[in-house]
Amino acid sequence: MTDIDDIVLNFSPASLTLLNAILCLVMFAIALDLRVDDFRAISRNPKAFVVGMISQFIALPALTYVLVVLIEPRPSIALGLILVAACPGGNISNFLTHRAKGNLALSVSMTAVSTVICPIATPLNIAFWGSLYPPTREILRATEIDPVSVLYTVLLLLILPMALGMLLNARRPDIAARLRRPLQIVSMVIFIGFVAAALAANWSFFLGYVGQVAVLIVLHNGIALGTGFTLATLARLSDYDRRSITIETGIQNSGLGLILIFAFFGGLGGMTVAAAFWGIWHAVSGLAFASWVGRTEPARA
């Protein structure tokens, strides 16, 4: 079998451009639900927000590093896990939080703020944790990621469409209200369709190599969900807040992760498989968790 890092995906520059456009559309659609008041909600519940951000941007990357050191996967797979852990909250976290009957305002605030700070936090986490592990340090040295390029990529793909969506919602709420639901549905359908098409074009590759990462991704995602749940419990937050933090920590923006992998790592095989399988699995695990806890009303105090 060909080495996983020698695999060349059927993923052209045009496909990357299309993925960029789809991600922009998804972020714009999500932002139609955002208002400045959503950020002000942080001041009304600062403890839960701080715990959530620590869980997502400090605890999860640190535990990912521990997992990598203990299991010692292929360097590219290890760096893929670190990169995914460094990404902001995923696009479906707000939907899953609503289904779980968690604190939606907290979820929206965490998603929005994590997206805003990820141009700085994401490359810092990748560089810091990736450089601590010698095998991934070698990949980073060979790649020589330009932080300014990462900043530009994230600003263009996440921050700009989010700002435009919020601006439209603030200036023309009537138009935003008409666009919100259909655009959110269409954007997610297009995104899922693109992922499905990309998988179909690389199906033999995916089947041949996903076994090398499947168990690791399931374990990693379980750690992510467990991290959010545990920190929220230790901080004595309500079950209402704990459900939101658990989902926000366990649902990562793997679409952004794939874009960064193709833009800065040349679509390195192990990283790509890790991010792609994470993108599939976190939706499954997140929906299962949300459906399970959503059967009961949470305690809010």
Q: Binning pLDDT at 50, 70 and 90, where does residue 151 land?
A: confident
User: Which has more pLDDT, 38 or 70?
Assistant: 70
Q: Binning pLDDT at 50, 70 and 90, where does residue 12 land?
A: low
Domain for residue 299, yes or no?
no
Give the tens place of pLDDT for each residue, 156-169: 777 788 788 888 88
Secondary structure (DSSP) of the chain: ---GGG---S--HHHHHHHHHHHHHHHHHHHTT--HHHHHHHHHSHHHHHHHHHIIIIIHHHHHHHHHHHH---HHHHHHHHHHHHS-B-TTHHHHHHHTT--HHHHHHHHHHHHHHHHHHHHHHHHHHHHHSHHHHHHHHHH---HHHHHHHHIIIIIHHHHHHHHHHHH-HHHHHHHHHHHHHHHHHHHHHHHHHHHHHTHHHHHHHGGGTHHHHHHHHHHHHHHHHHHHHHTT--HHHHHHHHHHHH-B-HHHHHHHHHHHSTT-HHHHHHHHHHHHHHHHHHHHHHHHHTTSPPP--
Q: What is the pLDDT of residue 134?
A: 92
Q: What is the CATH number of the domain that holds 15?
A: 1.20.1530.20
Give the tens place of pLDDT for each residue, 203-257: 666 666 667 788 899 999 999 999 999 999 999 999 999 999 999 999 998 878 8
Domain for residue 79, yes or no?
yes
72-93 average pLDDT score: 88
Number of domains in the chain: 1
Domain for residue 300, yes or no?
no
In whole numbers, what is the pLDDT of the chain averaged over residues? 82
Give the tens place of pLDDT for each residue, 112-125: 788 878 878 888 89
Indicate if the pLDDT at residue 145 is higher than 70: no
Q: What is the pLDDT of residue 16?
A: 64
- Please state the pTM of the whole predicted model: 0.82
Domain for residue 191, yes or no?
yes
Domain that holds residue 54: 4-293
Domain for residue 301, yes or no?
no
Domain for residue 236, yes or no?
yes
Give the tens place of pLDDT for each residue, 35-61: 777 667 677 778 999 999 999 999 999
Domain for residue 298, yes or no?
no
Q: What is the pLDDT of residue 89?
A: 83
Domain for residue 109, yes or no?
yes
Q: Binning pLDDT at 50, 70 and 90, where does residue 289 land?
A: very high
